[in-house]
Amino acid sequence: MRDDAPSVLSRFQQGDVDAFETLFRMHQRAVQGWVMRIVREPSAAEDVTIEAFWRMHQSHARFDPERGFEPWARRIATHAAMDWLRRQKPETGMDSEQWNTVAASAESDPALTAEIRTRTAQAFFRLPAKLRIAALLAIVEEQPHKEVADALGISVGAVKLRVFRAIRLLRRDLSEQGIKP
């Protein structure tokens, strides 16, 4: 958690653009890194980061300086990223270069064929956005459930439920394709 000066937070809440710039520069890296974990595409991460900060600027009056900037920023960024995911067609969730990266990932289990990995990733990107985002953050990025819950603005129990539903749907989709995990 960053130590934002209380005066900067208060000035931001009152709509001061200089305070907004200070907070933007302090938090851009963290917000963009978080967004990147969700959208997984550098240019989209930039667009979503700007959109997220734009939303923060628009809702500055609702910001509570007592509760800190970073959790609030992360929650807004998560919702901006979720909106971006919802706008993507499942087939275009990743471009061909990214699919190749998935297939040839050095970190992947060598026992799995590239085709199975690709079909698993495709099945995963067909999941509803709100399930996918929970599974991405909790399973793929291995973020603590509490952090995922705070970012999504839901309870830890709801995160676990979404992850469970994502896994169940993924397993069903893979089974229909003849892939038995």
Partner 1 sequence: MRNKDQGPGIKEQDTERVKKLLQSAVPPVSDGLEAQRDLWPAMLRRLDEQSSHGMTSVPWFDWALGGALLAFAAMAPRTIPVILFYL
Binding of residue 120 to partner 1 (CB under 8 A): yes
Which of these segments, 7-15, 65-73, 115-123, 144-152, binds partner 1 (CB under 8 A)?
115-123
- Measured over all CA atoms, what is the biggest interatomic distance in the chain, rounded to whole angstroms? 59
Nearer to partner 1, 105 or 155 (CB): 105
Member of 36, 44, 154, 156 binding partner 1 (CB under 8 A): 36
Least Å distance, CB 148 to partner 1, is 14
Site of tokens 């087939």: 91
Member of 16, 88, 126, 139 binding partner 1 (CB under 8 A): 139
Torsion, Cα of 50, 60, 17, 15 (10° steps): 160
Binding of residue 154 to partner 1 (CB under 8 A): no
User: Secondary structure of the chain: what % helix, strand, coil (to 5)?
Assistant: 75, 0, 25
Count interface residues toward partner 1 (CB under 8 A): 42
Question: How far apart, in whole angstroms, are the C-alpha atoms of residue 132 and residue 94?
Answer: 14
Least Å distance, CB 66 to partner 1, is 25
Q: Which ranges in 88-179 belong to alpha helices (H)?
A: 96-104, 114-125, 129-135, 145-152, 156-176
Q: How many CB atoms lie within 10 A of CB 64?
A: 10
Residues near partner 1 (CB under 8 A) are 17, 21, 24-25, 28-29, 32-33, 36-37, 40, 42, 46, 49-50, 53-54, 57, 102, 105, 107-109, 112, 116-118, 120-121, 124, 135-136, 139-142, 164, 167, 170-171, 174, 181
